Structure 1
C-alpha cells in the first residue's frame, strides 16, 4: 500500500531532531515545564453545583425571583446563618438562656456584621416581657421568670406566632413546653452580595462570616451547631482537596508498581515518571494561565492523563526495545520506533481530542471546561511522550555508553515465545477460523447492551457533590495528611430534614410576569391552585401556597379597614379581590402598611411580576415535581393576555440540569462517534490509501461504548454531573487501544500475510497494551477512594471502559481486520505481494 499523503516528510523531520539533537529537545521541554509551572499558583477552585446552573432558563427565572423579591431597594444585601441547638429541652430556662447567650455573643462581634438575630427563645422572651427590645433585656426577662411563667409563655407563643412552631423540632410538646431541638437565625450584612444560584457554590461571600461565627460559637462551648451556605461551600472546597490528597498518591503508588513491572529498568522508569509529571504540570499550569477554575469533575483529569501517558510511555519504550533486540543501534532503533509511534500517537491524540472535545457541545459550563482541559492535556501528552520521551531515551542510552548507568532489562513485553504472548493471541485464533461469525456475535451482543442502556437514569442534586455522612473506616484509618476531614454538611442536612417540619417538604416557585393590575389577574392565579397535582401539598383541598394572595388574606383577617376594601372588590366572595387591584396593592405597599415588607417579597414595585411558592411532598421525585409545577404554571397563562408563568426553584432547576446532562451525554457521544469515524477515514486514507480501515478500527469502540453504557444500568449508576462525560471518555480512551493495534497491523500487513501480520501485531503491541491496561485500571481505579461517592462511580466506569477497550481490541478487532482484509484487500490483490487472504494459513505465522 502506498500512502497518498506526504506525511512522512514531517515524521522524518521529527525523527532527525529526536535522534540528532536530543539534548536540545530535552532542554526546550524543561523550559516549557517551568513556564507552565508558573501557572499552577493561579488555579482557583469552583466547587459545588452552582457552576452547572448558569444560563439554564429555570435558573434565570430563579435569579429574577431572588433579585426582585429577596431584596428591597436601597438595602444592603444580607445572608443568614442557622444556629441549630440540641438538648434535653431547649425550651427550659437553661435552654432559652443558652440560645439567647449565643445570640448576644454574636451580636457583640463587629467583624460578623450581624444585623439581627432571632430564635424561638427570642419569641418566648418577648412573651415574658413585651417591652424587651434587645437581647440583653430578653436574657434578663428569662432569668427573672419562673418555670411556670416560661411554660405559659411557650404556650402563648405557639398560639399567637405561627413562626414559633416552625423553629422547633417535630417532637415539640405544647403541654409540657418541651422540644429537643430548635433553630435560630443570624442575619449578616454581606458587602459583596449573595449568590442567586439554585445550587451551592464553591465560594461564597458568606463563607468567612460563617466560619468566624462557627469559631465564636465553638468558643462558647455547648451543643449549638452553625450551618449555612458558606459552611457548605467551604466543605465543598475541602472535599476536593481531601480527594486529591488521597487519590493522586494512591494512583502514583499503583502506577509505580505496574510501571516497575512494565519497564523493569530504573532509568527507564524514572524517565516515564518525569514525563507523567510534566504532563500534569503542563495541563494544570495551562488551567491557571487560562483562568479555568478547578471543579469536582476535573478531579478525573489527572488519572485520565496518567492513563494515556502510561500507555504512550510503555508503547514507546517497548517498541524501541523490540527494535534493539534485532541488533539495531540506538539511532536507527529509535527512528523505526518514532516512524511508527508518532503516527499512532497522532491518531490517538486526534481521536481522543475529538472524544473529549465533544463535551464542548454541552450546555453545562463545568462539562465544557472538562472538555477543554482534557483535550489540551491530551495534546500535551502527545508532545511529551511522542517527542520528549524518545529524545530523553536516546540521550539516556547514549550516556550509558559513556557512564556507568545500570541497565536492568531491555526485553519487550509479550516477546515471542513468552506466556503473555501466547495468552494475547486468542483473538488471532478466532480471526483465523470464523472471523465473520464472531464479529456478528460481538455486534449483536453490543446492540443488546446498547438497548439495555436506554433505561439508565439521569440525576442531578446537591447530594452528588456532598461527602458521605460518615467517612469509611479505611479512609479514617489513613495517617495524616491523607486522613480526610470530619465533614458535617451531610449529617446536618439529614438531621434538619428528619427533625424539623420544614425539612419534610420542599417548595417550588412559579414566577409570573404580566399586567397584575388588570381585573381577574389574582383570581386566575388563585384558581391555578384548585385541584392541585399529586406532588403538591394540599390544605383544605387546595395547593398549599404562599403568595401575594396569602398576604392579602392574612392582612384582611387582622385589619378591618383593609378587609372591607377587599370585600368591595371581591365579586365572588372567595376572599380574592378581582376588581380595582391598584387600590389593593397601594394599601399593601403603603409606607405605613404593617405588611409592606411581607408584600414586597411577593409582588414587584412596578406591579408587573409576582411569585407563588408551593409546598411539595417530600417523597415526590424531581421529575414529578417539575412536571406538576409546569402544569400549574401553564394554568396561569391565558390566551390573548400578556401573562407568562414559569416554574422555577432548586428542584425545577436541578431537574432541568438532569435533562441537560442526558442531552450532553447523548450529543457528545454522537459527535464523538461521528467525528472519530470521519477522522479515522481521513487518516487511514492519507496513511494507507484505504479509508475503510478506519471503519474496522471503529468496531471495538462501538462494542466498548455499548458495554459501558449497558453496565451503567447493570450496576445502578445514573448519568450525573460526573458520569455525563463517561461515554465520550470511553471513546477517547478506547480508541487508544484499537489505534495501536490497527496501525501496527497496517505496518505488518505491508510486508507479511494476514495471519502473520495479526500474530505479530497482537504479540508485540498486545504486550504493551496489557501493561498499559493493568496500570491504567489500577491507576484510575483509585478514584473509588475519593470522598465523593459519584467520583468513585466514575472511577468504576472508567476502569470498566479500559478493560472493555483492551478486550475488544485484542479479541474483536483481529476478526474485524480479517473481515476487512477479505472484503477490501483481497478484491484488489495481496497487500504485500505475497499470499492472499485465502492463501494465508496458520502455518504462515511460523
Structure 2
C-alpha cells in the first residue's frame, strides 16, 4: 500500500508532465488510425497451417476456383411497358452484353448464363420471344431448371473469379462487377442483384465500417448521458470520460500501426472499450469526490483516490486481462486479434484513469475556484437521494439476512441452468448479414428456384489423374453422391469423368483418349498443370438449411470421401468455402470450452495470488462464475448462438465479472480493518453506486452495438450487456452475503 501511495504522490505532483506525454501519444495514435484496415476473408479466421487452409489454397492456385459471384436477373414488377419474362430477347441481349463486359475483367475466368445456351444452339441470340422459348423448351428439364426458374421470372449469371484473397481486391472485384451491371441497360421491370460469396462478403465489409462508427458514437452518447445523470454537471461528467477518449484513440491507433485488422470481432472494440474503460475512471473519480466531501484538500483527495482504489483497480485490470488472455490459447486468429486489442485497450484505459484523471479533476477544481472565488465541495447523485438510500437499504438487508439472498441466487441459477442446455453454434457467413438485404433475398431466390448454388469441392490427388482407373473411380464416386441427393441436397456435379463420358459415351481404357478429351475441353479448369490433381465440383443447397442439417450434410461428404474406393496412392479431401465454414464451426465448438476453462483458471489464480485468503477470494469470484453461467443460460433462452465472435465471450465475462466482487470485497476489508462495526453496509453504500454507474456505462457501451446492422454484432452487444448486469447483480447479492456469513461473528454481525 505504501508503494501505491508513493506512486500516487508522484502522479499528482507531476500530473502536467504525464498529461503532456499522453497528448503526444494521442497525436501518434491519430496517425495510426488512418492505417486501419477491414478484413472479412474466411481464411483469416482459421489457423495457419490447418489442412483445410492448405487444400483451399491449392484449389485457388491450381484451379482458379473456390470463388464466384452470382448475378441474379429477375422480373421484380409487372408495370406496363416493361417485360414479364426473362426469355424476352431484350433481357437475353442485356445478359449477353453484361457477360462480354465481365469477361474483359482480368479476374473473371468464366461466365455461364442462358445467353450461352442460345449462342451454342443458334450461333446467335434469339430474335423474338417464340424463338427464345423454343430453344429452352427443347432442353432437358434438369438443364433448363439450372438456368431459369419454373415461372420464367428469374435467371442468373454464374461468374467464376480468380483473385487474391484480401479485402482490397474483394472491394475492387465487387465494385468492378457492379459497375458493369450498372452500365448495361436492362429493360423495365428487371432487377439485377449481385450475390453469392463475394456479394455477401462485400456487404459484411461495408457494414463493418458503418457499424464501427455508428456504435462508437452511440456508446459515447449513452455513457455521457449516464455520467451527466450521476455527476449533475457537464464538466464533471467529462472528467472520467477524458482519459477514456485517450485510451480508445490510442488503441485504435496501435491497431493501425501494428497491422491488426478490424474484422467481425474487433469491429466491436470501440464500443466495448468505451463501455468497459469508463469503469476505471468512475471509481477514481467517485473516491476523489468522497474524500473531498470528508474535507481533504484536492491533492490529498487525489492521492487517496489513487492509493485506495489503486489495489482494486490493479486487481480488476489484472483479472480482466487474465480472462481476455485465455483467448490467446485459441487456434482462431480472430480471437487472438480481439484479445490483443482488448488487453491493450483496457490497460491503456486503466493507466489513463490513474494518470490523466487526477490532472483533469484538479484542473477543473482550479478553474472553478477562479470563476467562483472558492473551492466547491462536489455533490454527486450516486451518493445521495434515491440511489444512496437504495444501497443503504440493500446493505442493511444483506447484513441481517445473508442466507435469504443466497437462496434467491440458487433459484435464479436453476432457471438459467436450463438455458445452458439450449445453446447452439452458428458460423456460416451468410447468417451474419441482416435478413431483408437484397443479396440475401437473391440467395434465397436461387435456393428456391434453382436448388442452390453452394459449391463443394473434392480435391483428388494421384500420380496422373488421367489414369483410366482414376477417372472411372471419379465417375463412380460422383454418381454415387448424386444418387443420394435426398440426403445431401446435391443439385449438380462436374468432373473430368463427365468430360470423357460426354465425348465418348463411356470411359475408355486408353489413357491417350482421355488426354485428348481433356485437351479439347474449353470449360472451367478441372485439372492441375502437372495432372497430379483434379477436382470434383458439387453444386447444391448445403448451407441454406439449419446448422444441424448443414453439419449432417458435410459429415455425409466426409464419410463418403473416407470410404471412397479409389486405386492405391490416390487421396481425396474436401475443400471450398462451404467446407471452410464447417471447419470453423468445429473449431469454434472446441474453442468455447477450452477458452472458458482457461480464462476462469487464470482469473482465479490472479485473485488467489493478490489476496491469498480463500474466503475473501471465494466471495470475489463467485459472482464471476454466476455471471458467466447466467449469461450462457440467457443465450440459450434467447436463441443467441455461439459464433466465432462469441467464442471468447465467457472468458470475457469472467474477466469483467470478477471486478465488481473485487471492489466490494476490497472496501469491506478496508472498513473492517479500520474497526467499522458495519463494514457490509458501508462497503455497499459507498462502492455500490460506483459499481452501478460502471455497470450501466459498460452495458450502455455494449448495448450501443445493437445499433449495428450485422446480426453477430447485435448478439455480441446484447450478450455482453447481459453478462455485465448478471455479474453486477450476482456481486450485489452474493459477495456481501458470503462476507457476512464468513465474518459476521467476528465483526459482531447478526447473520441469520
Same fold (TM over 0.5): yes
**Corresponding residue for 1:595?**
521
In structure 2, the CA distance between the partners of 1:450 and 1:291, relative to structure 1 (3 Å rule), is: same
Determine if the alignment matches structure 1 residue 644 to structure 2 residue 571: yes
Q: Structure 2, unaligned stretches of length 5 or more?
A: 76-82
What CA deviation, in whole Å up to 9, does each residue of 1:620-646 have, x standing for no partner?
Answer: 7221012111110110268x9433332
In structure 2, the CA distance between the partners of 1:218 and 1:269, relative to structure 1 (3 Å rule), is: farther
Q: Please report the RMSD computed on the Cα atoms of aligned residues, expressed in angstroms.
A: 3.6
In structure 2, the CA distance between the partners of 1:215 and 1:17, relative to structure 1 (3 Å rule), is: farther
Are 1:45 and 1:293, in contact at CA under 8 Å, matched by a contact in 2? yes
- Per the TM alignment, residue 698 of structure 1 is displaced from its structure 2 partner at its CA by 0.5
With 446-455 and 625-634 compared, the bigger mean Cα shift is at 446-455
**Corresponding residue for 1:184?**
157
**Corresponding residue for 1:326?**
294
Determine if the alignment matches structure 1 residue 660 to structure 2 residue 640: no
Are 2:472 and 2:497, in contact at CA under 8 Å, matched by a contact in 1? no
**Corresponding residue for 2:649?**
726
Corresponding residue to 1:82 among 71, 77, 85: 71
Are 2:12 and 2:302, in contact at CA under 8 Å, matched by a contact in 1? yes
**Corresponding residue for 2:673?**
750
What CA deviation, in whole Å up to 9, does each residue of 1:289-336 have, x standing for no partner?
Answer: 111111132232122211222222222121111111111111112221
- Per the TM alignment, residue 146 of structure 1 is displaced from its structure 2 partner at its CA by 5.3
Q: Structure 1, unaligned stretches of length 5 or more?
A: 1-6, 72-76, 131-137, 172-178, 470-486, 558-562, 570-579, 827-835
Determine if the alignment matches structure 1 residue 155 to structure 2 residue 137: yes
What CA deviation, in whole Å up to 9, does each residue of 1:348-383 have, x standing for no partner?
Answer: 111111112211222222221111101100000011
SS of residue paired to 1:206: helix
CA–CA distance in structure 2, aligned partners of residues 119 and 318 of structure 1: 68
CA–CA distance in structure 1, aligned partners of residues 362 and 479 of structure 2: 80
- Per the TM alignment, residue 211 of structure 1 is displaced from its structure 2 partner at its CA by 3.6
After TM superposition, list the pairs within 5 Å mapping 1:55-454 onto structure 2: 55=48, 56-70=50-64, 82=71, 84-86=73-75, 87-103=83-99, 119-128=113-122, 130=123, 138=124, 142=126, 145=127, 147-156=129-138, 158-159=139-140, 165-171=145-151, 179-184=152-157, 193-195=163-165, 203-217=170-184, 223-227=190-194, 229-404=197-372, 410-415=378-383, 418-425=385-392, 428-429=395-396, 431-435=398-402, 438-439=405-406, 442=409, 446=413, 449-450=416-417, 452-454=419-421
CA–CA distance in structure 1, aligned partners of residues 262 and 373 of structure 2: 41
SS of residue paired to 1:410: coil
CA–CA distance in structure 1, aligned partners of residues 458 and 666 of structure 2: 58
**Corresponding residue for 2:710?**
788
CA–CA distance in structure 1, aligned partners of residues 338 and 607 of structure 2: 24
CA–CA distance in structure 2, aligned partners of residues 684 and 700 of structure 1: 17
**Corresponding residue for 2:426?**
459
In structure 2, the CA distance between the partners of 1:122 and 1:613, relative to structure 1 (3 Å rule), is: closer
CA–CA distance in structure 2, aligned partners of residues 633 and 643 of structure 1: 11
In structure 2, the CA distance between the partners of 1:113 and 1:552, relative to structure 1 (3 Å rule), is: closer
**Corresponding residue for 1:496?**
446
- Per the TM alignment, residue 251 of structure 1 is displaced from its structure 2 partner at its CA by 2.0
Are 1:537 and 1:617, in contact at CA under 8 Å, matched by a contact in 2? no
- Per the TM alignment, residue 256 of structure 1 is displaced from its structure 2 partner at its CA by 1.6
Are 1:511 and 1:648, in contact at CA under 8 Å, matched by a contact in 2? yes
Determine if the alignment matches structure 1 residue 586 to structure 2 residue 580: no
In structure 2, the CA distance between the partners of 1:63 and 1:763, relative to structure 1 (3 Å rule), is: same
**Corresponding residue for 2:78?**
none
CA–CA distance in structure 2, aligned partners of residues 270 and 373 of structure 1: 24
Are 1:85 and 1:182, in contact at CA under 8 Å, matched by a contact in 2? yes
**Corresponding residue for 1:829?**
none
SS of residue paired to 2:34: helix
- Per the TM alignment, residue 552 of structure 1 is displaced from its structure 2 partner at its CA by 2.8
**Corresponding residue for 2:730?**
808
Are 1:532 and 1:538, in contact at CA under 8 Å, matched by a contact in 2? no
SS of residue paired to 2:230: helix
CA–CA distance in structure 2, aligned partners of residues 420 and 736 of structure 1: 21
CA–CA distance in structure 2, aligned partners of residues 208 and 406 of structure 1: 63
What CA deviation, in whole Å up to 9, does each residue of 1:458-511 have, x standing for no partner?
Answer: 111122331331xxxxxxxxxxxxxxxxx5322322233233x142x6443332
Aligned residues: 738
What CA deviation, in whole Å up to 9, does each residue of 1:815-839 have, x standing for no partner?
Answer: 22233436xxx7xxxxxxxxx24x3
In structure 2, the CA distance between the partners of 1:81 and 1:800, relative to structure 1 (3 Å rule), is: closer
Larger Rg: 1
- Per the TM alignment, residue 338 of structure 1 is displaced from its structure 2 partner at its CA by 0.9
Corresponding residue to 1:738 among 661, 666, 683: 661
Are 1:637 and 1:643, in contact at CA under 8 Å, matched by a contact in 2? no
Are 1:683 and 1:691, in contact at CA under 8 Å, matched by a contact in 2? no
Corresponding residue to 2:601 among 638, 655, 674: 674
In structure 2, the CA distance between the partners of 1:246 and 1:617, relative to structure 1 (3 Å rule), is: closer
CA–CA distance in structure 2, aligned partners of residues 550 and 533 of structure 1: 13
